Amino acid sequence: MDLDIRTLFAAHALVSTTLGLLMVAFWRAHRGLPGLGLWTLGTVLLGLALIGVVTRGVLPDLITIVLGNGLGLVGMAAFWNGIRLFGRKPARWKAVLAAIGVVEIAVAYHTYAVNDVPARIVVTSALMSGICLLCVQELLRGPVRRFRTTSATAAFLFGFVGVTLAFRAASVALLPPDAGLFTPTTAQAVHFLVSLISNILIVVALLMMAMQSLKQEVEARSVELEAARSRAEQASRSKSEFLAQLGHELRTPINGVLGFADLIRTEACGPVGDPHYREFAASIHDSGEHLLDLINEVLDHAMVEAGILKLEEDSVDLAATVAFCTGLLAPRADQSGVRIAWSVAPAARIVRADEKRLRQILLNLVSNAVKYTPAGGGVTVTADLDPATGLRILVEDDGIGIEADDLSRVLEPFGRTQRGRARSVEGIGLGLPLTKRLVELHGGRLLLESAPDRGTRVTAVLPAGRVLVPAGMAPGESPARRPADGGDPAARNQDGWSRPVTA
Ligand code: ATP
Ligand code: MG
């Protein structure tokens, strides 16, 4: 088959330009990789230079010869400097650009002063060959240690192109061909075919080096991440040990204080004489209990925040838990003149939860309802199962309520309202945020609705899957039994209530 040299050049130009476009796409995705930008530039410039060669005689010589050769040489220099950057060395442009400048002057001279095609071929091929050999040296010195096979392959290909260019320069210098650049001699055809294939292979080899480098970077990052993760785990373990230790250290003496205050208060070892001492002991006991509550609340909050509070789940009788919590708070409610009523639907009676934390949720919500409801008011606790929304545990009161502006603040740690009555009530503002986190740990959410001076309604919505079907009852069956309850829950008017706030 006879191969037209111009067609060969056109194919070469097309392939190089396509490679250049592919390199641009790759570089856009991996801009941070040293050297990749210059390799992309080199590939694009070589493609443009070859388009210049193909359009020789069609476009002005200034573009196709002077600019075309210049772009090709700068493209090769970009390859060389890209390899230097890839090997973490600084780029060096001055000397190579100076050499390109000299060759460009020679090319212009042999185009405009004397039209000497062989002379142009000799100078440009010689410099290109020189830059190829610089690439070989850089590849063998730098990245070869990290990417043995691919950088050695790239070095071999650059070397091969360098040698063919040197051979071309020498052969044209010694035996200048009579005809021009596109003369279809076997030597020309072989030279351009070889350079076409080598060009593709060089770009592929450079891309492979880039890919290997990215892979190594990803591996290094994974190792770093793994190390950071185990450091974080270690820190979290230390934090959890510290919190557990702190809890122990604080609770032990307080329990001692409580125990001894109780002994004195109850005159367990005989009469204390002056009755004032009994009252003092009772005060010590109450203050100690309050302090213990605070310590527990703060420690629990710290553990939730540190992500180290784990649930101990089991099947729990929700009705018994509600009865226990309302019973515990009944004396305080009686003292304040507040009624408590509760009701648990049979379908929501047995749930999968951490019993201690479920009690904590209920105690926090019911104690708030009692605390912030004036004498004569009422608190109701209801639990039911709505297949669409899930298990709903609702604590509502007809107390002082919360202003709309304060609704999200009270769910933040230490977020207490500034309203006169609420401010005068004791508390540090951790109950609601802790409750919210405990509900979330159970996979649920806490909804807060309120209307100032009319009351507050807090709903813990837990996934329906937490409700366990009592033995003997088919899933979805509606039990005919009466709900477990501790009084009649009051009906509430919806008008004027805030929209539910969850965070
Ligand atoms: P503690 O940490 O002892 O629970 P606290 O009760 O003040 O202190 P939270 O339970 O977090 O803290 O409640 C935050 C604030 O929300 C309260 O200070 C109060 O202003 C408001 N609040 C909570 N529940 C009610 C309620 N049922 N009615 C009115 N205001 C409430
Ligand atoms: Mg509270």
- CB of 177 sitting under 6 A from ligand 1: no
Q: What is the pLDDT of residues 225-253, one digit of tens each?
A: 999 999 988 887 787 778 778 888 888 88
Mean per-residue pLDDT of the chain = 86
Q: What is the pLDDT of residues 174-230, one digit of tens each?
A: 877 665 666 666 666 777 777 788 888 888 888 888 888 888 889 999 999 999 999
Tell me the average pLDDT across 19-33.
Answer: 90
* 386, β-bridge pairs: 390
pLDDT given for residue 50 in this prediction: 87
Tell me the average pLDDT across 311-335.
Answer: 95
pLDDT given for residue 209 in this prediction: 85
* Nearest ligand (C-alpha, residue 429): 1
Among the residue ranges 231-245, 307-321, 401-415, 467-481, the one predicted with the least confidence is 467-481
pLDDT given for residue 478 in this prediction: 47
Distance CA 150, CA 325 (A): 72
* Nearest ligand (C-alpha, residue 415): 1
Tell me the average pLDDT across 77-97.
Answer: 93
pLDDT given for residue 334 in this prediction: 95
pLDDT given for residue 2 in this prediction: 56
Ligand 2: distance of its center to the CA of 347 in Å?
29
Ligand 1: distance of its center to the CA of 325 in Å?
17
Among the residue ranges 160-169, 236-245, 314-323, 472-481, the one predicted with the least confidence is 472-481
pLDDT given for residue 492 in this prediction: 43
Ligand 2: distance of its center to the CA of 296 in Å?
13
% pLDDT > 90, the chain? 49
Ligand 1: distance of its center to the CA of 99 in Å?
80
Q: Are 395 and 381 in contact (CB under 8 A)?
A: yes
Tell me the average pLDDT across 111-138.
Answer: 91
Distance CA 93, CA 98 (A): 8
- CB of 377 sitting under 6 A from ligand 1: no
- CB of 456 sitting under 6 A from ligand 1: yes
The 3-state secondary structure of 98-166 reads: HHHHHHHHHHHHHHHHCCCHHHHHHHHHHHHHHHHHHHHHHHHHCHHHCCHHHHHHHHHHHHHHHHHHH
Ligand 1 atom with the shortest distance to the CA of 455:
28
Ligand 2: distance of its center to the CA of 401 in Å?
13
Q: What is the pLDDT of residues 458-500, one digit of tens each?
A: 999 999 999 987 555 555 444 444 567 776 544 444 456 676 6
Ligand 1 atom with the shortest distance to the CA of 433:
11
Distance, CA of 230 to chain centre: 17
* Tokens found for residue 149: 């096979």
- CB of 435 sitting under 6 A from ligand 1: no
Domain limits of the chain? 5-228, 233-306, 314-491
Q: 240-249 long-range contacts, Cβ below 8 Å, gap at least 24?
A: 240/303, 240/306, 240/308, 243/299, 243/302, 243/303, 243/306, 243/308, 246/299, 247/295, 247/296, 247/299
Ligand 1: distance of its center to the CA of 365 in Å?
9
Pocket test for ligand 1, best of 304, 410, 421 (most atoms within 8 A of CB): 410
Q: What CATH number has the domain spanning 314-491?
A: 3.30.565.10
- CB of 430 sitting under 6 A from ligand 1: yes
- CB of 199 sitting under 6 A from ligand 1: no
Ligand 1: distance of its center to the CA of 490 in Å?
22
Q: H/E element holding 395?
A: strand 390-397
